[in-house]
Homo-oligomer: A and B are copies of this chain.
Amino acid sequence: MTERLIYLPLGGAGEVGMNAYVYGWGEPGAERLVLVDLGVTFPDMDSTPGVDLIFPDTAWLEENRDRLEAVFVTHAHEDHVGAVGHLYSRLGDVPVYARKFTAIHARRKLEEQGFDAGRIVRVVGPMEGVPVGQMTLSFMPVPHSIPEASGMLIDTPAGRIFHTGDFKLDPDPVVGEGFVEEDWRAAAGDGVHALVCDSTNVWVPHPGRSESLVGPNIRELVAEASGMVVATTFASNVARVQSMIRAGQEAGRSVCLLGRSMQRMVAAAKEAGVVEDFPETVDLEDARDIPRESLMLVVTGSQGERRAASAQLSRGKYLGLTMAEGDTFLFSSKTIPGNERGVLQIVNAFSEQGVDVVSDEETAYHVSGHANGPDIQRVHEIMRPAMVIPMHGEHRMLRKQAEMARAAGIPSAVATNGTMLDLTGEAPKVAEHIEAGRIYKDGEVQIGALDGVVRDRIRMALNGTCVVTLIVDEDGDVLGEPWVELMGLPAEGRSGPLAETMEARLGATVDALSPKQVADDDKLDDALRKAARAVSNDEIGKKPEVIVVVSRLS
């Protein structure tokens, strides 16, 4: 048999974020391809200052776009659907398949980038097979923390793959279908060929907890609260949002949703029909007139995002609403590593206002949307795979799940972004390594992660910037003195004003140059740059980034 089954993660394997997994069947190098998910990851000041969003580098897919048949989106979280619009033009004119709720989001992403989304996005029901070449793909509902989350059943000539997507084993997820072991066993049949499985929480040693446990605790908290109650969670967790609204209403409060994504998610859930009898909420205008002890707000910004409602409220009056002593603020969420500072800033700001902040992660008021270690083990047992490929996780998570599989005698491979596996046989084999990188959305343009743009920004942030200008006249003589402008540098050095000291020393540098050196752009630039860094280092102990501009009159 010369045809083969390949698996190639372009994002999400070796990190949590920007999921993008390629599957293909066919002769080597001529496989027909599908892409499962096309998500984003978020920038941070440490490594990607000024960047707006981060996408997987789809260069390999672009080179092979004639072989790409379709994109399937498992669910509507940004790290799975967020790049569909931004990268669509790179993929060729392929259909994007999704279930109803997810499709609403995929369409919006495409429309925002000017595509005719109605033509591109195709809604598929659960377990409804979509034939793609010799493969057939079906969305299999899995519980997660967003409506209509799905795994992919991928039937291939080599057997069935179960790509879990993000999932947990929750029999009662409040919104949507719960975990039913018999259904999963039925999908597994005599055992799937390959289980490609979420690894996010593999290190968590206890079984995951059900979404249904959270509602009663929130209800109790709200019932006992006296002032205004404000609660935040991920807007996409429609089940949680619903539990919050019900808790408020049972306590006799009117509930108002704040934040654009909160409104949007609830609207999409209603449109897709994933929630029945979704409780009524009040508008902002009405909320302003309701006494605080009769009001509850459900707001965005659980990760401390500066512009979201939580942060805005912590800084004072927001949309006519102000928190006050005796009010309660609930974080019904887990702080994602890296967001701690932003969240703590909010907590402390509320503390200064006398607001009681309740945040107790992963116990009373929050449960994770991902399967924990024992749950993953259970899925290995239920699906009886011939091989396990860990995905969706940092390296330490992938490795942990691979070890778990191997300990049970199941072949496994840790394949990070860019590692193409051949899954045709009885065990995964590395077929090829391709370049897998990142694309940055910077303002309205896309740049490569290795273009040096962000590196320069980091250097300016760490070292400050110094501009040196010099004019050379028609005869090749230096006109006047070098001029120095500083940005992000201390004004005073050891000997006095830094710019003046630098200009004096750079003047001396220029005086010492031969006419030949002055005539040579590179040499002159180099001499000025080196001198500027040296003087600055002497004066303040820092070597700034230097921009040299030599103007030659002619």
Binding site for B on A (CB under 8 A): 14, 44-46, 49-50, 337-338, 340-341, 344, 347-348, 350-352, 357, 394-396, 399, 442-445, 447, 451, 453-454, 456-458, 460-465, 467, 469, 471, 479-480, 483, 485, 487-494, 537, 540-542, 545, 547, 549, 551, 553
Contact of A551 among B460, B469, B492 (CB under 8 A): B469
A395 touches B46 (CB 8 A): no
- Known contacts A340-B337, A396-B347; A49 and B462 CB within 8 A of each other: yes
Report Cα–Cα, A99/B541, bound state, in Å.
Answer: 33
Check B479–A553 contact: CB distance below 8 A: yes
B463 with A399: CB separation less than 8 A = no
* Shortest Cβ distance from residue A543 to the other chain B in the assembled complex, whole angstroms: 9
Please indicate which of the listed interface residues A467, A471, A480 has the most CB atoms of chain B within 10 Å of its own CB. Answer: A467
CA distance A465 to B465 in the complex (A): 9
Query: Is B490 in contact with A443, judged by CB distance below 8 angstroms?
Result: yes
CB closest residue in chain B, given A205? B360
Given the interface contacts A469-B469, A547-B467, does A540 sit within 8 Å of B461 by beta carbon?
Answer: no
Let me know if A488 and B454 touch, CB within 8 A.
yes
A257 to B464, CA, bound (A): 36
Most interface-central of A45, A341, A545 (chain B CB within 10 A): A45
A485 CB contacts on chain B under 8 angstroms: 547, 549
- If the complex has contacts A471-B553, A547-B485, are A341 and B338 also in contact, measured as CB distance less than 8 A? yes
* Across-interface contacts of A545 in B (CB, < 8 A): 487
Known contacts A49-B461, A457-B464; decide if A444 and B488 are in contact (CB<8 Å): no
Q: A340-B340, A348-B396, A485-B547 are in contact. Are A464 and B50 (CB under 8 A)?
A: yes
Inter-chain CA distance A444–B493, complex, in Å, is 9
Q: A396-B348, A445-B540, A493-B445 are in contact. Are A488 and B460 (CB under 8 A)?
A: yes
Cβ contacts under 8 Å, A460 to chain B: 457, 460-461, 465, 487-488
